[in-house]
Each structure stands twice: as C-alpha cells, then as structure tokens.
Amino acid sequence: MDRLNVFASGRESPGGSGTLVFTHCTMATTIAKQYTRLRSLWPKDALRPNLPFTRAIEHHGLPYGVQPSALAAENLQPSASVLAKPTTTSTSAPQNLQREQAQVNALYSLLEDRYSNKYALSSGVLKPTSAPEHYSNLMEEIARAPQKSWWQAKLDEWKMKVRWT
C-alpha cells in the first residue's frame, strides 16, 4: 500500500510512483473550512455573550484563511490585523498543519460531546449525599443568570456571602 506523503511545495514525492501528495494550500484551505464550520456550529454562551468561544476558534483559523465574523471585524484592533496574514514556512508547515488538524479534531469531539458519552458520570457524582440538590440548583441558577439585572446579580452575590443560620 502506498504511503501518504505531505509536501508544502506540491511536488511529487521523491520516493515513488503512485503516492498521494497534498499541497500546503489544499490542507490549509481544508483547515480554514473546518474552523469556519466549527465557528458556525458552536453553541452561544448565554452567561458571557461578550466573550464567545468562537473568537478563539476564529483566532486560531486566521493564519489559515478564516474570514473574521462581522462582529469581530468591527472590533478588530490594529495589532490584531497582523494575525490575519497567512504565515507559512515550508520546513515546518506539514507539522503545523498536522498539529492544527489535531486541534480541529479535538474541537469537533467537544462539539459532539464524545467525552461525556464515553465517560458518563454516575448519579452519585451529580447527587452527593451531603447536598443532593446542589448541581440541579446550580444549573437553574445558570439558566436564570442571563435574565438578571446587575442589581439582582449583586443582591444574590451578597446573599451568598452572608450566612442566615
């Protein structure tokens, strides 16, 4: 069976006939498309709408040609525009592309909840005997948090600091 040889230059592999060769541009384009798809599929953060994780995804994809989203484009600072230029080096490009592909695969596995399905938590972890309602109350509080005003959030914070025993 033929080996898969990856060269940044796009030339035929030196060792053999019939080997499959990918160019640096093809792999970079594939990575850019994957980052763009991840950015569109990633769930919105209700607790921190001003700090979406999609910005981090976009930042990692900029060197590979991912276009900034409309919201990020108007908030770009001059120093951040330097990041938008693709950076390629012929000697380390295949290693960087393989590492970047591993990062993309990790993001897809998080998006698909592979780890929570593979390593499911027992009911004892989510309902400890000392406070069986703790995690359900926490999830309810997280669900209510985006609708709270600043004043309500401060009141709740102060209530948590004072013990009423």
Condensed to tens digits (0 to 9), the pLDDT of residues 46-87 reads 888 888 999 999 998 998 888 888 765 555 444 444 444 444
137 with 89, same domain?
no
Distance CA 156, CA 118 (A): 36
87 with 50, same domain?
yes
Distance CA 14, CA 37 (A): 35
For 9-35, how does the pLDDT look when each residue is reduced to its tens digit (9 = 90+)?
444 444 544 444 456 678 888 999 999
43 with 80, same domain?
yes
Residues contacting residue 45 through CB under 8 Å, at least 6 positions apart = 51, 52, 53
Distance CA 112, CA 51 (A): 21
Number of domains in the chain: 2
pTM equals: 0.61
What sections of 76-145 are H helices per DSSP? Answer: 93-111, 114-118, 123-126, 134-144
62 with 90, same domain?
yes
87 with 155, same domain?
no
Q: Report which residue type is found at 15.
A: G
99 with 129, same domain?
no
85 with 60, same domain?
yes
Distance CA 121, CA 132 (A): 15
Domain range for 10 is 4-118
For 126-162, how does the pLDDT look when each residue is reduced to its tens digit (9 = 90+)?
899 999 999 998 889 888 888 889 999 899 888 878 8
